[in-house]
Structure 1
C-alpha cells in the first residue's frame, strides 16, 4: 500500500445537521465563554487578594490556567468546523492540537496529585506544613507539573509526526494522537511503548498517589478531632470530586479510542469525545468556588463592595453619612 506524509487530515465525524448547526455553535460558544469567565474570575480573585496567597490556592491558579489552556486547544477549531463545509485540518495545526489537548490531560493529573500531597501535609502534619510547603517548594511543584506535560507531549508529537501514514481520515471532531497512530503504515513499536509508559506515569501513578494520600488522610480523620474532620471535609471534598470526575471522563476517552465503538450512536460518541475537555474546565471553578469558604467570602465581599456605592446614591440626604459609614466599615 502507498504511504506518505499527508499535508492535511480530515475530521470525518462531522455530518450535516442543517440549521441546527447554528444552534450547536451558539451553545458551544456560550459554554466556552462560561469556561473562560469562570476560570479567569477565580484566577483574578486569588491573585488580587493576599489572604489567598497560600499553596493550596496557588495550585488552584495553576489548575485554572490549565483549564483555560485545554479549552482553548479545543473550542476555537471546533467552532470553526461546525459552521464550515470543509473539515480538513492542516497537518501542523492538527499536531498542534494533539500537543495542546494531551498536554492539558497530563498537567491536569499531575496538578491533582500535587494538590492531594498539599492536603496530605496540611491535615496529617499541620505543624510542619509551613516548613515543608514553602514558596520555593510550591513553585517547584507547579513547574514540575507543567514541564512534565510539555516534555512528554513534545516527544509524543515528534514520534507521531515522523510516521508514514496510509490515510488521513480521523473519526473524531478533533485531532487525536491515537487516531493518527492507527493510520500508520510504518513500525509503531516505539510510539506504542512511549504511549503505554506515558499513560502509566501520567494517569496510573498520580491516581495511586492520590488514593494513598486520601487513605492517610482518612486514617488521621478517624483518629483525630471533630475540627480535623471538618477541615478535611471542607478542603478535600472539592479536590476528590474533581479527581473522580476527571478519572471517569479519562476512562471514557481511553475506551473509545482503544475499542470499536461503531455500534454506539454517533451523537453519543461525539458527546463522550467532548466530555473530557468541556465538563472539567466548567466543573472545577464551580466546585472550588462554592466549596472553599475563603473564596466564597472574598467573592461575596467583592460583590457587596460593588453594591454599596449604588445604595448610597439612592438616598441623597444621607450620602455623606452613608459614605462615611461605608468607608469606616471597609
Structure 2
C-alpha cells in the first residue's frame, strides 16, 4: 500500500506544481502586459522559460524544508499528511484562480500540512516534530512580513526613480521603463522558479525520505526536473483572471511604477531564496509592491475595497486549507 501512496503523492505534487505555475504566472506578467511593455503571448513564454531555469538553479530551500522545517512522521502516516495537504492546496488554488484573487500557494500548502498533522494527532497517529520555533521564525514570519516590506519598499522606491527620470520627456521615460519591465518580467519569473519550484521538490523529497527511498541530504535530479517542467508547463497554460486583477483592478499603474514594483519584488525573491534561505510568497510580494508603488502618486487610485478583499483571502488561506487538510486526512486515514 505504501508504494502506491507514494506514487499518488508524487502525482499530486506534480499537479500542485502545474497549478502553481498556472496560478502564479500572473505575478510575472501582469504589470508588463498592463503597461504594454510585452504582448501577452511573449510575456507568458518568457515567464515559462525563466520559471524553468529558476527551478533548476538551486535546491537550498527545498533541503531546508526537509531538514529543519516540518519533521513529518515516517511511513504511511507521513504520506497521508502530504497527500491531504497537496489536495487542500490544489483545491484552494483552483478556487482563488476562478475568483480572480491572488493567493499564496506556500501558505496553502503549509496550512494543509498543519491541518493534516493535527488530524493525525487527533486519531492517535504519530505527531509531527520540528514544527515549532523553526516553523514560526523561519517560514511563517517571513511569509507574513513580506507583504509589509514589499509595500513599504515599493512606495519608497518611487521617489528615487522619479527623481532620476525627472528631466526626461514622458515618451522617453515610458519607453525606457517598458524596456526595463520586459527584462524584470523575466527576472521575477526566475525568482519565482527559485522560490516556488522548490516547494514541490521539498514535498517529493519528504515523501521519498519518509518511505526510505532517499536520505534527505540531496535532491535526485529527476525530482528537480519533474518540478521544473511542470511549473513551466503550468505557466504556459496560465489563466488571465488574476492578471486582470493585478494589472487593472487594484490600482491604475504607469510604466514607471510598474517597473518599480517588479524591481522590488524580484529583488526580494532573490534575496530570500539565495542569501537568507527564507521562503517568500511571490504573490504577496508582487501584489503588495504593485499597491505600494501605485499608492505613491499624486492622485492615488488604489481600489481599497478590492485590496481589503484580497487581504481577507490571504488571512483565510492557511485556516481554510488547514480545515481541508484535516478533512482529507481523516478521509484517507482508514487506508493508512
The two structures have a TM-score, normalised by structure 2, of 0.28
Q: Which has the higher contact order (CA 8 A, sep 6+)?
A: 2
The two structures have a TM-score, normalised by structure 1, of 0.29
